[in-house]
A and B are shown apart, each in its own frame.
Chain A
Amino acid sequence: MTEPRILIHLDGKKTVYEPGEVLAGQVRIEPLPLQDIKAVELSILWYTDGKGDQDLHVRYFRRWSQEGDLPLDLREPLRFQTVLPQTPLSYDGLIIRIRWCVRVRVFRARGRELVEEVPFRLGRVAPARVRLR
């Protein structure tokens, strides 16, 4: 049996967004029959990485399920759209990194959940580096 895949596609094929810009896209899950899926969650979030404990904040969240308010229909791609905030911007620091991504989780009726994420950059902050003289 072919392993199912989650395909996340961002409109405009962009990887860098500006604050206040609209982030939109769609998600396809194939090949997985609808009866094998309990729920699908989509999040647009940022998280920190590096020395400190991870902080995470979800900017946009949608959940489709068989029993929930948003019915699950995989005949069409699942669309999402949100306006990105002014802060925090993506950042590659010395001991702190801030990463933005679109993350999709598929909860299956049997078996482990599937997770896929597509990173993107918010803003154009230069990475921090130390230069030795």
Chain B
Amino acid sequence: MARWFRLFEKKRGNRRTGSEQIAGIWEGAFFGVLFLLGCVGFWLTISLFVLPEWWVNRDFRPSPARILETRVGTTVRDGQTLYRPEVCIEYKVGGHTYRLWTYDIHTVQGNGYSVDKERALKTLQRFKADDIITCWYDPRDPEIAVIDRGFWWWAWLVLLIPLSFVILGAGGVSYHLWRWGKSVERLAVQGRPLSLSFSADPDAAMYPFVPEIPARVGQPGTHLPYRLPVLGAPYRAIYAWLAAALGWNIAVLAFALGTYYVGRFDWSFTLFLLPCLVIGLTLLGAFFRQWMATSAVGETIVEISDFPLLCGHRYRVYLKQTGWLRINWLEMLLVCEEEATFQHGTNTRRECRRVWQKTLWRHERFEILRSVPFETEAEIEIPHGMMHSFRSPHNEVRWRLYVRGSAQDWPNFERVFPLVVLPGPERERRPDSRPGREGLSSETPSDEESPQQVNPGQASETYS
């Protein structure tokens, strides 16, 4: 092995510590065993349940038979008593008289038992001694006869179990055979077999692996041509609190009704119920507070002069903030972030790091009235030499506009607006550029403003 297994820590990502080939062989063997088990189970189910029933319905011939006696057959399996209906009949085939205990083909084979005795008794009620009924006998062996044909529907359901083993095993084996001996580059080009993804070929796009322009950006603005959609609608928090409050209170109510409705008063249950009521009221209060906060803050509208954006170009941005608030401070930031997703054992973790940000404007201590929303405009520039928007399955570079604010008597709020930034055309190197550096570093601010730098601690990690 390349290195020791870390026994007490989850392995990070797909960094294997052993041979890929040997791992592939073991995985292939595992799926092979699964496939064989499925085939065996499939054949047993077919031969024990499905084929006999099909055989009875197709090949057996009818003959009149006289009922002599009925009974409930019993047996003990795994310490449990099982039951089945049994009928003694007498019939003639080819001049010979046959007498046997039977019901259906499973009874003849020694099966047909179940735990339900009542069902067996109910089945036997149809059959009375000395009645003449029709039986069906096997022309190859007239000693085998049944008085009930048909199919057990559940046998077809049972077939699904070995069938799933067969599908999983066959899929796993064929996948490993397809992968065997192929390099990672060849696999990337050929794609995965049986892929359910119908996404377009990224190489066909003009800007591969740049996120698509959100559909709602097509909505025209009132001041500038493009209105940006807001990420994560604020109403989600309202719905979440409402669902939690309703769910909790309904459960507590049902619990209480179930106890008190029968007229039983239990002190210990009442003591248990009190904190549950407090929690329920707290959740309702949180819902109302969130609702009022969202209503008070109002809608945040951001419009931009062009979309998508290009590195090295300037744009106008317009903000309109509605609501009824006494603002402590309100600001808009242009931000570039990186987000990386990785597997940590069986968990998926995400880490986000802010690469660059610039405060476009900040206003303090003013009022927003219902009839007079707050409006402002600013100019933004995506510095030349910055990274464009990028998204792959586990890594992303994204640009966003953040509108953040603090209002008296309300919690701080934040609205996020996604941007799509494309690489700009290469411009000629400036005479005052630093020697040995290609393009403009994200450290170098524009001539007029000094962008706010990011502290190394401004990272966030989520866990799922």
Chain A interface (Cβ within 8 Å of chain B)? Answer: 16, 18-19, 41, 43, 45, 48, 50-59, 61, 63, 85-89, 91, 93-96, 98, 103, 105, 107, 113, 123-133
Chain B interface (Cβ within 8 Å of chain A)? Answer: 13-14, 181, 183-186, 188-189, 202-203, 206-210, 338-343, 351, 353, 355-356, 385-388, 390, 392-397, 422-423, 426, 437-443, 453-456
Sample of 19 more A-B contacts, CB < 8 Å, known A126-B442, A128-B355: A41-B186, A45-B185, A51-B342, A52-B394, A52-B395, A53-B343, A54-B14, A56-B188, A87-B208, A87-B388, A87-B390, A88-B208, A88-B390, A95-B338, A96-B338, A96-B395, A96-B397, A105-B185, A124-B439
* Measured CA separation A107–B189 after assembly (Å): 18
Pick the contact of A56: B184, B339, B342 (CB < 8 A): B184
Task: Please state if A58 and B188 are interface contacts (CB–CB under 8 Å).
Answer: yes
Q: Which residue of A lies closest to B182 (CB)?
A: A41
Chain B residues near A93 (CB-CB < 8 A)? 338, 353, 355, 387, 397
Report the 8 A-B pairs with minimum CB-CB distance, sorted nearest first: A52-B340, A55-B392, A43-B185, A51-B340, A124-B438, A126-B441, A53-B394, A124-B439
Chain A residues near B437 (CB-CB < 8 A)? 126
Min CB gap B210→A, angstroms? 5
Task: Please state if B186 and A63 are interface contacts (CB–CB under 8 Å).
Answer: yes
Chain B residues near A55 (CB-CB < 8 A)? 392-395
* Measured CA separation A90–B441 after assembly (Å): 14
Chain A residues near B393 (CB-CB < 8 A)? 53, 55
Between A and B, 9 residue pairs with Cβ closer than 8 Å are A53-B394, A55-B393, A57-B188, A57-B209, A86-B206, A86-B422, A88-B210, A96-B397, A126-B385
* Measured CA separation A120–B9 after assembly (Å): 36
Min CB gap B180→A, angstroms? 13
Min CB gap A76→B, angstroms? 23
Task: Please state if A126 and B338 are interface contacts (CB–CB under 8 Å).
Answer: no
* Measured CA separation A93–B426 after assembly (Å): 20
Pick the contact of A61: B189, B386, B440 (CB < 8 A): B189
User: If A87-B210, A87-B390 touch, does A94 touch B353 (CB 8 Å cutoff)?
Assistant: yes
Task: Please state if A87 and B185 are interface contacts (CB–CB under 8 Å).
Answer: no
Q: Which residue of B lies closest to A94 (CB)?
A: B353
Task: Please state if B186 and A53 are interface contacts (CB–CB under 8 Å).
Answer: no
Task: Please state if B423 and A128 are interface contacts (CB–CB under 8 Å).
Answer: no
Task: Please state if A48 and B395 are interface contacts (CB–CB under 8 Å).
Answer: yes
Pick the contact of A94: B188, B202, B355, B386 (CB < 8 A): B355
Interface of chain B, helix or strand or loop or mixed?
Answer: loop
Min CB gap B112→A, angstroms? 55
* Measured CA separation A59–B207 after assembly (Å): 13
Chain A residues near B441 (CB-CB < 8 A)? 126-127, 129
Chain B residues near A94 (CB-CB < 8 A)? 338, 353, 355
Chain A residues near B342 (CB-CB < 8 A)? 51-53
* Measured CA separation A58–B396 after assembly (Å): 18
* Measured CA separation A1–B451 after assembly (Å): 60
Task: Please state if B340 and A124 are interface contacts (CB–CB under 8 Å).
Answer: no
Chain A residues near B395 (CB-CB < 8 A)? 48, 50, 52, 55, 96
User: If A93-B397, A131-B443 touch, does A87 touch B184 (CB 8 Å cutoff)?
Assistant: no
Min CB gap B460→A, angstroms? 12
Chain B residues near A19 (CB-CB < 8 A)? 423
Task: Please state if A85 and B203 are interface contacts (CB–CB under 8 Å).
Answer: yes
Chain A residues near B339 (CB-CB < 8 A)? 52
Chain A residues near B442 (CB-CB < 8 A)? 126, 128-129
* Measured CA separation A41–B184 after assembly (Å): 11
Chain B residues near A45 (CB-CB < 8 A)? 185, 188
User: If A50-B395, A96-B338 touch, does A87 touch B439 (CB 8 Å cutoff)?
Assistant: no
User: If A51-B340, A96-B395 touch, does A86 touch B353 (CB 8 Å cutoff)?
Assistant: no
Task: Please state if A133 and B423 are interface contacts (CB–CB under 8 Å).
Answer: no
* Measured CA separation A104–B459 after assembly (Å): 37
Chain B residues near A52 (CB-CB < 8 A)? 339-342, 351, 394-395
Chain A residues near B14 (CB-CB < 8 A)? 53-54
* Measured CA separation A94–B351 after assembly (Å): 11
* Measured CA separation A124–B386 after assembly (Å): 9
User: If A52-B340, A105-B183, A126-B442 touch, does A87 touch B392 (CB 8 Å cutoff)?
Assistant: no
Task: Please state if B340 and A96 are interface contacts (CB–CB under 8 Å).
Answer: yes
Min CB gap B416→A, angstroms? 20
Task: Please state if B206 and A53 are interface contacts (CB–CB under 8 Å).
Answer: no
Pick the contact of B183: A18, A41, A88, A131 (CB < 8 A): A41
User: If A52-B342, A93-B355, A128-B355 touch, does A16 touch B443 (CB 8 Å cutoff)?
Assistant: no
Chain B residues near A58 (CB-CB < 8 A)? 185, 188-189
Residue among A45, A57, A98, A128 facing the most chain B CB atoms (10 A cut-off): A128
Min CB gap B425→A, angstroms? 10
Min CB gap A88→B, angstroms? 5
User: If A41-B185, A52-B341 touch, does A86 touch B208 (CB 8 Å cutoff)?
Assistant: yes
Chain B residues near A48 (CB-CB < 8 A)? 392, 394-395
Min CB gap A64→B, angstroms? 12
Min CB gap A115→B, angstroms? 9
